[in-house]
Amino acid sequence: MPRRSTVTGLEHLLKVNPEVTIYAPKEVFGIFGSALPSSFYRKDESLAEHERYFGGRPPEPLKFGSAWPGAKFVPVESNLEVAPGVHLISLISETPGTKELRELSLALKTAKGIVLVAGCSHPGIEKIVEAAARLDPHVRLVLGGFHMPAAPDDQISKVATALHDTWHVEQLAPGHCTGEPTFAHFKKVWGPNYGYAGVGSVIELP
Q: What are the pLDDT digits (tens) for 127-149?
A: 999 999 999 999 999 999 999 99
The helix/strand/coil state of 74 is strand
Tell me: the pLDDT tens digits for 80-135? 999 999 999 999 988 877 878 889 999 999 999 999 999 999 999 999 999 999 99
In 84-166 the beta strands, taken as DSSP E runs, fall at 86-92, 102-110, 113-118, 139-145
Phi, psi dihedral angles at 50 (to 5 degrees): -70, -10
Fold of 78-193: Metallo-beta-lactamase; Chain A (3.60.15)
In 20-64 the beta strands, taken as DSSP E runs, fall at 21-25, 34-36, 62-64
Residue 33 has pLDDT above 60, yes or no: yes
Q: Kindly state the average pLDDT of the residues 47-66.
A: 87
Cβ 170 vs Cβ 113: under 8 Å:
yes
21: amino acid identity, one letter: T
Cβ atoms within 10 Å, residue 147: 25
The helix/strand/coil state of 193 is helix
